[in-house]
Structure 1
């Protein structure tokens, strides 16, 4: 895949080199979520700097008088997404089959830019325009649910017209219809679901199954060979679940209990480290025996390494979504709605999911996936059954002040 040189701007050498290696070593070598961690590890305290921005002057982003739409006259769409988060032709890496087909069918020319490497970094990039009531230059963005919720709360998202998206309205799976960050799905629709689970290398564990966070934090046989994630909502959320705390309803004391428990494991050197992009390489090699991991990565890794296994703890797992959203002042909302509607066609959704390997939010896509890859159709990390889906827990929305406070505590824990 040829990369836009702008994507390299501001990236440290380790990030750039890892990205370059991914493009020469196959699709499974670098998932979208791995690259997210590469970017976030370089951000340090920047996650806190973006808090407390007031709504854009001139009202909410869903006011049609404040957001004129030019879609009929301008058949274009500026779509910002994460790297490696859309299907690519195996022979011609410049082609994106589903997106190319959308352009042919609708006559809408899509400028697809992979310029989201970290939620907070991207927020910092677009907030000056949003705060000033100006266009960001992007008609559609894909942000993790908590960040999508921030834009919605601040009035920086445009309300979507369900009449223009019959596929999305009809085919959004029921478990995705309720979203704390966007009640009623008025402003956003999921691009994919994300599950945080426990993963392990059975060769490195000597055949022992690792099925819980308790084992990660306390099992002496794993001492020094465990990693947890630098993503606060996943590491703290999974620890809360193991403690019997609901991450959808926690308070400050609950958060502190989870932090204290992880701190004990840090102090006794149970944890090798908090890991970002490179947990996959270390898990595959056996340098890490067990860890918290993102399901989409594990689906891909298992294809290459038969020693990799995963477990969904009995206590549950952390669940999130990456959501499509139209920013305030975007010029082409209707064109964006057409694209959302297109990707909620089950056949198109299955084609996309076969490549990205994350949880598919589209009802009917599993049946279409059976025509593409029966193993993927039966993979519970891509198409969870009702019981598995019911065990997933979101991390409740936080105010800007709460998030700053919790991120500070987590940063101290992981040494960021």
Structure 2
């Protein structure tokens, strides 16, 4: 991104956000990282912050109000404009420019998908669409994939459209019970999961000389790992894993619990146990053995393990943090019904299995596992793709923060990691 564009986009943001964002952009990783800058976005959550940036807050209205609904042209315009993250849909084995399930949707419905991989991180994408959303205009997109907390923000601001149940009957039926009622979208009125994300502990057994690394406590306290440990720069994932290790529930923690988690990490920084905090660029260091162990995203580890058999992962006994990326129809979308048909299409178990086989992330579709076992048996047997029942019981979500918590917690985390 040109620095002029960077300055325009971040003008008025709190300085910790600007520094964190600029550091990631200048590192050259922003376009590759699936989750590179998620942490920085949280400081811009509140309506007050938006106003400080010169963007008026949208009225807090229901999904069906005239403030965010628009005339639907789906019947006359057989198309849907879909924005997603890079490498986050299955491709044709012979022609990587073709997308198997998207092409199948067009064949089944006659609706053309204008697919763009222009979501490189939540905060950057929010910066792209917020001027249109705030002024009540169409973003030019009918469907987007964003992480749960960002979806929650758009819903709170009145910038998401409530889905028509009549158009998503398959999704209503087939969404797994674990994903039915997030606190930021109770009852799944506005969103459905595209993929689930898991945060686990990973290590290079060659770098640890065969020693297993099984907990966050080990990452923070084992002298044999000193200086060869990384944590994630995504606040919710790192703090969530530390809270779990401390015996705290990330869905119910207090401000004092948060402060204790920060203090524990600060000790690891001060005594140089922690080498640094990373986006998803930890992968190369883990594979090379430059770091011995880390907190990692499950989707990354599938490819890392395929390339390097020394990479191992562990679900800590005290649990792990789980989150979702979700399909959402933005306010004023021109082809809402077509977008809803696409959402519903992906909740067919066979289609969901094709998607999972292509991207390697967790599915929220019941019946998908059986289809995947036929299509890609190795993927179906991988707990990073299809969590075992035991693993599923250890999943925890990081609770939705208030606007004041969002700002205060992120400021403390930014100070911790030197952003």
Please give the TM-score of this superposition, normalised by the length of structure 1: 0.90
Q: Distance in 2 between matches of 1:13 and 1:260?
A: 29
Judged with a 3 Å threshold, the aligned counterparts in structure 2 of structure 1 residues 316 and 46 are, in CA distance, closer, same or farther, namely closer
Q: Is the 8 A contact 1:216 1:291 kept in 2?
A: yes
- Residue 65 of structure 2 is matched in structure 1 by 63
Q: Does 2:89 match 1:86? A: yes
Q: Distance in 2 between matches of 1:380 and 1:40?
A: 25
- Residue 35 of structure 1 is matched in structure 2 by 34
Q: Distance in 2 between matches of 1:365 and 1:46?
A: 33
Match of 1:277 among 246, 271, 280: 280
Q: String of CA shifts for 1:339-396, please: whole Å, max 9, x gaps.
A: 0111111111111101111111111111111112212111111111222112111110
Q: Deviation at 1:50?
A: 5.0
Q: Deviation at 1:55?
A: 4.7
Q: Distance in 2 between matches of 1:351 and 1:385?
A: 20
Q: Is the 8 A contact 2:81 2:140 kept in 1?
A: yes
Q: Distance in 1 between matches of 2:223 and 2:264?
A: 16
Q: Distance in 1 between matches of 2:368 and 2:230?
A: 34
Q: Distance in 1 between matches of 2:213 and 2:193?
A: 30
Q: Is the 8 A contact 1:57 1:132 kept in 2?
A: no
Q: Distance in 1 between matches of 2:171 and 2:87?
A: 23
Q: Distance in 2 between matches of 1:281 and 1:225?
A: 13
- Residue 255 of structure 1 is matched in structure 2 by 258
- Residue 344 of structure 2 is matched in structure 1 by 341
Match of 1:224 among 216, 224, 227: 227
Contiguous gaps of at least 5 residues in structure 1:
20-29
Partner SS state of residue 296, structure 1: helix
1:312-331, aligned counterparts within 5 Å?
Answer: 312-331=315-334
- Residue 381 of structure 1 is matched in structure 2 by 384
Match of 1:15 among 28, 44, 47: 28
Q: Does 2:135 match 1:132? A: yes
- Residue 332 of structure 1 is matched in structure 2 by 335
Judged with a 3 Å threshold, the aligned counterparts in structure 2 of structure 1 residues 387 and 406 are, in CA distance, closer, same or farther, namely same
Judged with a 3 Å threshold, the aligned counterparts in structure 2 of structure 1 residues 91 and 15 are, in CA distance, closer, same or farther, namely farther
Q: Does 2:172 match 1:173? A: no
- Residue 48 of structure 1 is matched in structure 2 by 43
Judged with a 3 Å threshold, the aligned counterparts in structure 2 of structure 1 residues 256 and 207 are, in CA distance, closer, same or farther, namely same
What is the aligned residue count? 392
Judged with a 3 Å threshold, the aligned counterparts in structure 2 of structure 1 residues 13 and 409 are, in CA distance, closer, same or farther, namely closer
Q: Is the 8 A contact 2:111 2:338 kept in 1?
A: yes
